[in-house]
Amino acid sequence: MRILGICGSLQAKSSNRTLLEAAQRLVPGGVEFVLFDALGDLPHFNPDLDGEDVAGAVTTFRRALQASDGVLIACPEYGHSLPGALKNAIDWCISSGELTSKPVAITASTNMAGRGALGLAALAQTLRGVSSVIVGGESIARGAHFERDLAALLSDLIATIRNPRDSFLES
Q: What is 92-137 written as a DSSP string? A: TTTTT-TTTT-EEEEE-EESSTTTTHHHHHHHHHHHHHTT-EEEE-
Which pLDDT score is estimated for 49?
Answer: 84
Question: With the C-alpha atoms ordered 33, 167, 171, 94, is the resulting torsion angle positive or negative?
Answer: positive
Taking CA atoms, 101 is separated from 5, 57, 158, 170, in Å, by: 17, 23, 14, 13
Which pLDDT score is estimated for 164?
Answer: 78
**The domain over range 2-170 is classified in CATH as 3.40.50.360:** yes
Angle between helices 15-26 and 146-162 (to 10 degrees): 60
- 15 CB-near residues (< 8 Å, 6+ apart): 76, 109, 110, 142
Which pLDDT score is estimated for 171?
Answer: 47
Which pLDDT score is estimated for 115?
Answer: 94
Residue 63 CA, chain-centre distance (Å), reads 15
Which pLDDT score is estimated for 169?
Answer: 46
- Residues of the chain where predicted confidence (pLDDT) is lower than 70: 52-53, 165-171
Which pLDDT score is estimated for 52?
Answer: 67
- 130 CB-near residues (< 8 Å, 6+ apart): 90, 93, 94, 97, 99, 100
Which pLDDT score is estimated for 51?
Answer: 75
| The pTM of the whole model exceeds 0.85 | yes
